[in-house]
Structure 1
Amino acid sequence: MIISVLKEIKKDEGRVAASPSAVRELCAHGHTVLIERNAGLLSGFSNEQYAAAGAEIVDVKEAYERADMVYKVKEILPKEYPYMRRGLIVFTYIHSNGSREQTDVCLEAGVTGIAYEDVIDRAGKFPMLRPMSEIAGKGGFLAACEYAKSTNGGRGRLYAKIDGLSAPRVTIIGAGCVGIGAAELAAGCGNMVSLVDVDYYSLEHAKMKLGPNVEFVQSNQENIERLVKQTDLLINCILWPKWRTDHLVSRELVRQMKDDAMIVDVACDEGGAIETCRCTYHSDPTYTEEGVLHYCVGNIPGAYPRDASVALCNSTLPYALAIADKGVVRALSEDAGLRRGLCFYQGQLTLEETGRKQDRPYISPERALGLE
């Protein structure tokens, strides 16, 4: 199979899908790897390193036109739409529910799209979200510390315990990998941390990893309202179901937060759990809404491309190899977890969440592949 690794063109994105060691592994399996020129520079990987690993260095046009599969990090953007064609496999974070236009293009072109974010492993976990989730959670807390500085337009708060002062209160919504990552740093700096989740067992799991200055709170409206009103820093780490029109933290509740409070929405889920959140970029990361400073950058790991690229590649490479070695139909047929990530197949939408969010017809991956 011919596998092309593309240079990401999303604003402020520095990651690359495959490291030189991954290229070496793909080539050892007999596959041809094309690397778009300078695709890995921001992650610390030179064209020469890729060539030494066995890749061909090509321009974007050749990378797309020769590819059987494109191996990426971010979704397909408008500049890439003309390269979409029937039979092309797109393996990346697709987030199809968030872009009707991208979905239209991929369906009309007949590409096979497999989304990292929807693939599950045998334990029912999301292996290609986990490494980015930890980086995003920790990076979200570090961003709060950076943009709370008055020199960066913040309110001059330091989210850390200082002798003679009350420790800041940090409320983190979601006790998954993202929330635990944020809580580890927040607690390590001496803050009083409240970790909130609807799932009791997630809180129990988190309790095993975190220190005595973290409380574990069952998520309900009363607790959310109480914590949000008293918190100095609110970090959202959950994705809100796309078809819901309500919010966990309403605009009215944001209006009742402390004057010097800050919100970090790691999920960057516009119209999601926090009503006032909208997507921002690393180059212009903050805004003030209802008197509260917001940081809502959607690709926090993109600011740490060297570590993020290697961590992401470690989790995606086994699946990329399975698709390349077996062919996409067999790989999907044999692995129900990988099949769960199938978004598009031969002009058919195969992801329920996108169908519901965009109010368009969809079928199951099993039906699309003729397995039922």
Structure 2
Amino acid sequence: MLIGVPKEIKNHEYRVGLTPSSVRELVARGHRVIVEKNAGGAIGLTDDTYLAAGAELAESAAAVFAQAELIVKVKEPQPDECKLLRADQVLFTYLHLAPDRRQTKLLLDSGVTAIAYETITDNHGGLPLLAPMSEVAGRMAIQAGAACLEKSKGGAGVLLGGVPGVAPGKVTILGGGVVGYNAALVAVGVGAEVTVIDRSLDRLRWLDQQFGNRIRTLYATADTIEASIVEADLIVGAVLIPGAAAPHLIRREQLKHLRPGTVLVDVSIDQGGCFETSRPTTHADPIYIVDDIVHYCVANMPGAVARTSTFALNNATLPFTLALADKGYQRALLDDPHLLNGLNIHRGQLTCFPVADALGLPWSDPLGSLQASP
């Protein structure tokens, strides 16, 4: 199979779909890999390292898309990239379609088969390809939020860890999953007072076991959320419903009850955001202020630490990339129900129910769609 790796073009996105090590694994199995020139140069993965691993180089993204049977990326294809896709190709990347009708329509119109990292599952009910980036984003949420609390950024001028004689800052984390746990880990590490809110009692018990009395855990109700956010200096939105749009846990009218300079970091922004006032921002222009409340809603947070993120992501994606290349996408999907859960779009049909439900579009059963294909 011919696998293509274009350079990412989203704002300040320096990650790359395949590392040279991953390329070497694919080439050793008899596959060809074509990589756009300088795709990984920003993070020290030079063209020479790709050539040494057995890759071929392409002058442009258009050349990669024109030749490849399987496109491996990191972020969702931008409109110009969607126009390069075709019906006999497979796209393997993060998609986050639920809040993105335009991208969904472009992919449906292209006829491509699109497999989303974020909806692939595992035997434990987890999301193994989302987890590594959630770990990065959770840890970065506290780092970014702490910077936004500085007065020069519009924040309240609070140091999360405090100092002797001055109380530490208060962090409220909405969601106790992978993002929430990693955010709590860093927030506790810097000495903040941390509250994690979740609707799963099992998850709250697990968090209590991990942190003991270093954090406070609360069951998610409207009352507990309202009571916690009015006390917080930093609020991290870390809610995930796989494949679906995130629920709005903080409404616009509630902002007036927060202290001026409170910071909201919305890690759920890829799925539409869990604050009503959230809108996607970029690393070039990461924050905005609504009603004296600072919003940080960068949609590709792990891209800021692109080298770490690229290697962490490849560790998770490589087994699935190998399966798709070795078996062909249809056999790979039929053989692995967890990989099949990643099938979002197949030849003009929307095959991920939460996405179809969020966008009000027709849904096709993924297994039936595959079996009906020639």
Matches within 5 A, 1:252-267: 252-267=253-268
In the other structure, the counterpart of 1:29 is 29
- The answer to whether the aligner puts 1:129 opposite 2:130 as a matched pair is yes
CA distance in structure 2 between the aligned counterparts of 1:63 and 1:283, rounded to whole angstroms: 27
Contact 2:264-2:293 within 8 A present in 1 as well = yes
CA distances 1:91-140 after superposition (whole Å, capped 9, x unpaired): 00012223222222222221111000000012121000000001001101
In the other structure, the counterpart of 2:165 is 164
- The 1:327/1:102 distance shift into structure 2, 3 A limit, reads same
Unaligned runs of 5+ in 2: none
In the other structure, the counterpart of 2:364 is 363
CA drift of 1:157 comes to 1.7
CA distance in structure 1 between the aligned counterparts of 2:71 and 2:244, rounded to whole angstroms: 30
Contact 1:115-1:343 within 8 A present in 2 as well = yes
CA drift of 1:145 comes to 1.4
Contact 1:241-1:272 within 8 A present in 2 as well = no
Matches within 5 A, 1:1-372: 1-59=1-59, 60-239=61-240, 247-268=248-269, 272-370=273-371
CA distance in structure 1 between the aligned counterparts of 2:285 and 2:247, rounded to whole angstroms: 27
CA distance in structure 2 between the aligned counterparts of 1:360 and 1:82, rounded to whole angstroms: 21
CA drift of 1:159 comes to 1.1
- The 1:271/1:2 distance shift into structure 2, 3 A limit, reads closer
- The 1:6/1:197 distance shift into structure 2, 3 A limit, reads same
What secondary structure does 2:83 align onto? helix
Matching residue's letter, 1:74: K
What secondary structure does 1:133 align onto? helix
Matching residue's letter, 1:304: V
Percent of aligned positions with the same letter in both sequences? 39
Contact 2:267-2:273 within 8 A present in 1 as well = no
- The 1:81/1:241 distance shift into structure 2, 3 A limit, reads closer
- The 1:99/1:260 distance shift into structure 2, 3 A limit, reads closer
CA distance in structure 2 between the aligned counterparts of 1:228 and 1:151, rounded to whole angstroms: 22
CA drift of 1:367 comes to 1.0
What secondary structure does 1:215 align onto? strand
What secondary structure does 1:142 align onto? helix
Matching residue's letter, 1:142: Q
Contact 2:198-2:218 within 8 A present in 1 as well = yes
Contact 1:269-1:277 within 8 A present in 2 as well = no
Contact 1:239-1:272 within 8 A present in 2 as well = no
- The 1:130/1:271 distance shift into structure 2, 3 A limit, reads closer
CA distance in structure 1 between the aligned counterparts of 2:272 and 2:109, rounded to whole angstroms: 28
CA distances 1:320-353 after superposition (whole Å, capped 9, x unpaired): 0000001101000010010011011122111112
CA distance in structure 2 between the aligned counterparts of 1:357 and 1:87, rounded to whole angstroms: 27
Unaligned runs of 5+ in 1: none
CA distance in structure 2 between the aligned counterparts of 1:266 and 1:245, rounded to whole angstroms: 10
Matching residue's letter, 2:185: E
What secondary structure does 2:76 align onto? coil
CA distance in structure 2 between the aligned counterparts of 1:244 and 1:117, rounded to whole angstroms: 13
Q: TM-score, normalization: structure 1? A: 0.96
CA distance in structure 2 between the aligned counterparts of 1:63 and 1:211, rounded to whole angstroms: 51
Contact 2:145-2:265 within 8 A present in 1 as well = yes
